[in-house]
Structure 1
Amino acid sequence: MRTPLLLPLTIVVFLGALPAGIALAAASETPSIESLGEEEGDFLFIPGIGRIPLPPGTRALGPGQGGRDVDPERRAPAAAAPPPPKDPAQQRAEEMARLYLRLEQAEDEREAKGVSAAILSRWAHSESDTINLLAARALAADAAGAPPLALKLLDYVVALSPQWTEGYVQRAKVRAEQGDDSGAIADLETAATLEPKRFDALAALGALKAKTGDKKGALAAYRKSLAIAPQQESLQKIEERLHIEVEGRDI
C-alpha cells in the first residue's frame, strides 16, 4: 500500500525546527516534487534547504498537485468500460447471418440439413406468445383433420403479425392441401418477399408453380432456393430437368 504524505503539514513541522532566517527563506518559495528515476527515487525539493528523500510509494499531496501521484505512470490503468449490451434484434440478425453462411457453405446434404433445421426452428418462433399459441393451435387443428379451423386461426395470425413469415408459410401449406393453389402461391410469394432467405418457401413455391404449369416461374423459384441452400440433392435434380424443358440443353 502506498503511504500518503501530506506535504503542507510536513513542511510546517520541518520548517519549525530550522533557524528563523533559513525557515523564512524556505517558506517564501514553493516546494516541488522531483523524480530522479527508479534508482534514485523521489525527492521533496525545498528552496534554501535542498532535496529531502521521500519514502518509496509516497503519494504527494503538495501545492497545486491536487492529490496526483508523483509519477503518474506508476498508477494502474483505469479499467475499460464494458461495451453496451447488444439489442436483441441485432443479436438475432447476427445469429441468423452466421447460420445462412453455414448453410451456403455446407459441404454435404447431411450438414446442410442440420443447419437448415436450426434456421427453420428460429423462423417458427414468434416474439409474441399470443402468435405462438395461435400458430400451435392451427397446426394441431390441421393435424386433427380440421383445416377450416386451422385456416381461420392462421388468418388471425397473419392479421395480428403481418411481418412474421411463418404465418404465411403455414397458411400456404393448409391452402395447398385444400386445393387452393393460387392462395398458397400468394402466401409463399409474400413470405419470400418479407424474408428473401426463406429457401423452404421458395422450394414450395417452385413445386406449386410447376404443378400449375408455370415451369419458368418454378425454375426461377428453385434456383433462388438452391442459391441459399445449395445442398438440396432432390431439388438439384428437379432444377436440372426444368432447365432442359424451359431453356433447352446447353450447347
Structure 2
Amino acid sequence: MRKENTTGKAYIAVAMAVLFTSGVAQAQESANDELNSCVKKEQVMTTAKGAGIGAITGLTAMLVTHKNQDAGKAALIGAVAGGVAGGIAGFATAYYTAIDTCYKKNPSWMPESNIQRTKDYDNVKKQIHYRPSQGIVTRVESVNVAGPVKAAGQAEVDSAFIVMTPDGAETPVTVERKLFVLGDDGKETEVKFPGQTSENHTFEPGEQTDVVRIPVPPDAKAGSVYRVQFSVAAGEKAPVVASQKFTVTE
C-alpha cells in the first residue's frame, strides 16, 4: 500500500493559513464598510486559489522526480508563489480586480462620475481661436494628480477637456479612463479602473472638468508608479488621449 504523504499536506495547510492571514491584513481600508468587506473577501479568495494551485504544482513536481522528502518544502514554496506572485503589478492587479468584482456584484456602490462645465463656448472659442470650418474639435487640456499620494489613500485626478461644434450645438461625447501600474520589470500592466471606465454623454460645447478619485492599495510600496490615462472622442473622430503618472510616497 502506498504511504500517504502527510508531511506535504501539513505544509500546504500551514501555507494556506499564512496566506489567508496576510491577505486580510493587506486588504483595502475603505470608508465604505460594505465595499471594504467585499474587497477583503475577494482578495482572500484570489490568494487562496493561487495558493492552492501553487501548492499542488510544487508538490506534483517533487513527486514526479521521486524526491518525497522534499515534497512538503515544494508545496510550501509553490503555495507562496501561487498566492502572491507578480510583485507590484500582481498585487495591484489583484486589488483592482477585487474592487471591480465588488462593483459588478453591487452596482450601487460604484461612484458616480463628476464632470462639470468650467468654460462656455465663447470663452473657449477665443482661447483656442476656434473656427466653425474646423468642424467638431476635441482636446484634452490637462490631466493632473493632486499629491502626495499614499498607500491606503486616494489619488485625485482632475482632467480638463474641450469639445467645440461649428454651430454651438450639443454633441455626443465618449469619455474613457484607464489605469496602469509599473511593474518590477519596468513594464506597464493595465489594471481594472476602479469606477466608470467608459461613459457616453451629450455636452454643450466648451470646457469640461472630470474629477475621479482612485483608491491606492494599502500594500502599495513607496516609490510604486501608476499612470492614469484619459481620453475623449466626438464626431466620429479618433479619441484624443492624455495621461499622467503618479508615485506612491511614504
Higher relative contact order (CA 8 A, sep 6+): 2
Q: 1 or 2, which has the higher helix percentage?
A: 1
Same fold flag (TM > 0.5):
no
TM-score by length of 1: 0.20
Task: Tell me which structure has the larger Cα radius of gyration.
Answer: 1
Q: Higher strand proportion, which one?
A: 2
User: Under a length normalisation based on structure 2, what TM-score does the superposition of the two structures give?
Assistant: 0.20
